[in-house]
Amino acid sequence: MSCSRPTRDALVATARESIARGSKSFGLASKLFAPETRERAWLLYAWCRACDDLADGQDHGGTLSAVGDPAARIAAIRGLTARALDGQWVGEASFDGLRVLTEEAYIPRALLDDHIAGFALDAEGWRPRTEADLIRYCYHVAGTVGRMMALLMGVAPDDADTLERAEHLGLAFQFANIARDVREDAEGGRCYLPSEWLEEHDIRSFRAKSRNDSAPDGRFSTSLEANGEREKIAALTRRLANLAADYEASARIGARRLPFRSRWAVLAAAGIYGEIGREVARRGAEALDSRVTISKRAKLGWVIKAFRQAL
């Protein structure tokens, strides 16, 4: 049985609240879009955020913890998404917003499925063996979002190069996030540092037992100090920050092809997230002690700098 139809304004308002709670950085940058693109970006964000929260048992992010029956959660995400794409009102604002969004703008179903596949990897207790594995994971959880955002900004579906550069911006964001959240992820039982990297540096803190006997078991802070591996881990977070910078540089080329306000918003977001990666690299081992954040003043500084760059 179908649920009653919510108004578009109500769905947009809920999506606006979601991005304000879940991502202050992207929320700030999104305000620079033209109104239509801005609202569509909020609707897309709200769906992505809802999927992430359903998969991890969170409420707009927060501390990771074990969830019961993760496979059932992924099945629920797929089911709600499929119903929305099939034209049903499902009674969940984020998924009903996706229905409205896909009626207004072209988003390939394959990209939505690819995004959900990233949450499925986490649900399976997956971890990367190689750098290529890491890039594949980041494509699913963030590169797909970059491609979908580009389509919302008016990039043609057959403009392969610009879409790839939009994907690169998503990858850059995710590399910065992983570099920033190494300790937080580890204490939640996850590790996104490729096993080959850890083996190269003889890092053992991530080899404690967990779901797949390959990720941390929640005692990361103790094992890190005991094994004297802070500087080794810091070297890998710098490596991630460097990867983020390389992909950000590629994405900036694609940003030149966007309408002015979209270009401004993208460059602001690139600068803010890039600053996170640069700060992680600058702090080195100290970045493992507390979560790196960027001040509101610094973010506003990037909004101004991005305006000049966009011109």
pLDDT in tens, 19-34: 999 998 999 999 999 9
**Listed range (27-36, 40-49, 180-189) with the worst mean pLDDT:** 180-189
C-alpha to C-alpha distance for 223 and 142, rounded to whole angstroms? 30
Whether the pLDDT of residue 214 is over 90: the answer is no
High-pLDDT (> 70) share of the chain, %: 88
Whether the pLDDT of residue 253 is over 50: the answer is yes
* Mean pLDDT estimate for the chain: 90
CATH architecture of 125-311: Orthogonal Bundle (1.10)
Distance set, CA 122 to CA 73, 114, 116, 235 (Å) = 11, 13, 10, 25
**Listed range (112-116, 234-238, 286-290) with the worst mean pLDDT:** 286-290
pTM: 0.90
pLDDT for res 136: 97
pLDDT for res 187: 83
Q: How far apart are the first and last CA of the chain?
A: 51
**Listed range (6-15, 108-117, 251-260, 288-297) with the worst mean pLDDT:** 288-297
pLDDT for res 5: 85
Whether the pLDDT of residue 70 is over 70: the answer is yes
pLDDT for res 158: 97
C-alpha to C-alpha distance for 91 and 96, rounded to whole angstroms? 7
**Domain boundaries of the chain, sorted by first residue:** 1-109, 125-311
Whether the pLDDT of residue 297 is over 70: the answer is yes
C-alpha to C-alpha distance for 119 and 55, rounded to whole angstroms? 6
